[in-house]
Amino acid sequence: MQKKSIIKLSNLAVPTLSKGRFNKEKKTTLRNDFQRDRDRIIHSTAFRRLKHKTQVFVNTSGDHFRTRITHSLEVSQIARTLSKFFNLNEDLSETLSLSHDLGHTPFGHAGEEALNNCMKDYGGFDQNIQTLRIVTILENRYYNFNGLNLTLETLDGLIKHNGPVKKLIKFNDILGKNFFKNKINFLNNSSLEAQIASLSDDIAYNSHDLEDGLKSNLFKLNDLKNIPILNKIISKHKKKLKNYSIDLIVRQIIREIINEMVSDVIKTTKINIKLNKIKNLEDVYKSKKKIVSFSNKMKIFDFKIKNFLKEKMYFHKSVCINTEYGKNIIIQLFDLIKKNPKKYININKYKNLSLERTICDFIAGMTDRYAINLYKKIK
C-alpha cells in the first residue's frame, strides 16, 4: 500500500520513502514519510508557540507585523514553489521550512543572545540546535519515545540549515556526544530540499522585514533607492502613487522583490546543476559547493538589503529599546528561576539534565507574552 503514495521525482530529489527513523514505526497508507513529519511539526506545541514569538517587533507591538509562525509559513510557500519547479520532494522542503525556527527564544535573536550568555559556562545556547532538542527530546506526544521521531532526512536538513557541520563541540555540549549515533554524516552537503528551505528563509525575511519596516515608518521608500535592482522596482511602482495607496504599492513592490529573487535562484541553480555535473542524489551530497544559490548579482543585492535592514531597522532606537527589554527579562528570569527552580519546573522530570539546561529549555520555549507576564509576576 505504501507504494501508491510514492511519486516519481527527479533523480536529484530525496525519495518519498525515507531511509528510516530512530524508532521504528508502522507505515501508513494515507501519507508518505515526510507528510507525516510535516504534520507532526504542525501539531507540535513548539510550532503553536511561534505565533507569539518575535520576528523583529516584540509580539505585543502590533497585530499585523510578522511573527515567527507567519515567517515560517512564508518560507514554506517559497520553498514549495522552488521544490515543485525542480520536481523535488516538496513535502520535505515544507517540513524543513515549517520547523527551522522551532528553537527560537522569545524576543528573537536578542533573546537568543541573552540566553547564550546565561549558558556560557554550561555549554551555551544555539537556536538551531535547540530546534533539534525540541524535535528529538522535548516534545512529548508519544508513548514509546521522546520527541517527534522525525525521519533521518528531515533531521539531516535541520542539522545542516546553515550547511555542513565541521565542528561538533556545541552539538556535543547541548545534545550530548554522538547523539545521532553515527546515522548522520555531518560533513556531507545537505539535500537540495534543505538548501531550498535555507535560501527561502533568506528570501522571506528580506522581503517581509522590508514590508514591516515600511509599515512601521522606520524608513521610507526613498531610503531604498540606492540599492541596485530595488531602485528599478520602486521607480516603476512609484509612478502609480496618483491612483493607488502607498500600502498597496508597497505590497506590489514586495511581491516583485520575491519574484526577482525566486527567479534568480531557479536560473542560477539550473546553471549550478549543469556546471557541477549533478546527476543524482549522491552527487548532491558529495558536492563541495551549494547547488541552490543566488547569482553573484543577487548575492550583492541580498547583502545590501541585509545591511540596510541592520542599520535602519534591527538597530533602530525604537526596536533596540524593546529588544533590550526582552534581553533583560530573559537574564532576570534565568537568575530568578535558578534560585527557586522547583516552583516553576518539574525537576524530577528532567533529572538527567543539569539544572541550567533545564531552565534554558524552559525559557527558550516561552512566548514573548508568557515571558513578560512571568517576569512581572515573580520579579
Q: Is the pLDDT of residue 61 over 70?
A: no
Q: Which three cell numbers stand for residue 151?
A: 525521519
Instruction: Tell me the C-alpha to C-alpha distance, in Å, between residue 111 and each of 28, 116, 327, 331, 361.
Output: 40, 8, 5, 9, 13
Q: Give the model's confidence band at 62: pLDDT under 50 very low, under 70 low, under 90 confident, else very high.
A: low
CA–CA separation, 192 vs 9, rounded Å? 13
| Helix boundaries (H) for the chain | 33-42, 45-49, 68-85, 90-99, 108-118, 127-133, 152-159, 169-175, 192-215, 230-238, 246-275, 281-286, 296-309, 317-339, 355-364, 368-378
Q: What is the mean pLDDT of residues 206-216?
A: 92
Mean of pLDDT values over 113-123: 96
CATH number of the domain bearing residue 260: 1.10.3210.10
In the 8-state DSSP scheme, what is residue 31? S
Number of Cβ atoms within 10 Å of the Cβ of 375: 18
Q: Is 340 exposed, middle or buried (0-12, 13-18, 19+ CB in 10 A)?
A: exposed
Burial class (CB in 10 A: 0-12, 13-18, 19+), 173: middle
Q: Which residues contact 264 (CB under 8 A, 6 or more apart)?
A: 294, 295, 297, 298
Overall average pLDDT of the 350-357 stretch: 83
Only one residue has cell 531610503, namely: 223
User: Does the pLDDT value for residue 77 go beyond 80?
Assistant: yes
CB-based contact 174:116 (threshold 8 Å): no
Distance CA 197, CA 112 (A): 21
Q: What is the DSSP letter of 219?
A: S
2 pLDDT above the threshold of 50:
no
Range of the domain at 354: 1-379
Is the model's pLDDT at 5 over the cut of 90? no
* pLDDT of res. 57: 60
The pTM (predicted TM-score) of the whole model is 0.94
User: Domain total for the chain?
Assistant: 1
- Name the grid cell of 332: 532576570
Q: What is the pLDDT of residues 151-169, one digit of tens each?
A: 999 999 999 999 999 999 9
Is the model's pLDDT at 275 over the cut of 70? yes
Per residue in 35-50, pLDDT (tens digit) is 999 999 999 999 999 9
- Label residue 125 by pLDDT band (50, 70, 90): very high
Q: What is the pLDDT of residues 237-263, one digit of tens each?
A: 888 888 899 999 999 999 999 999 999
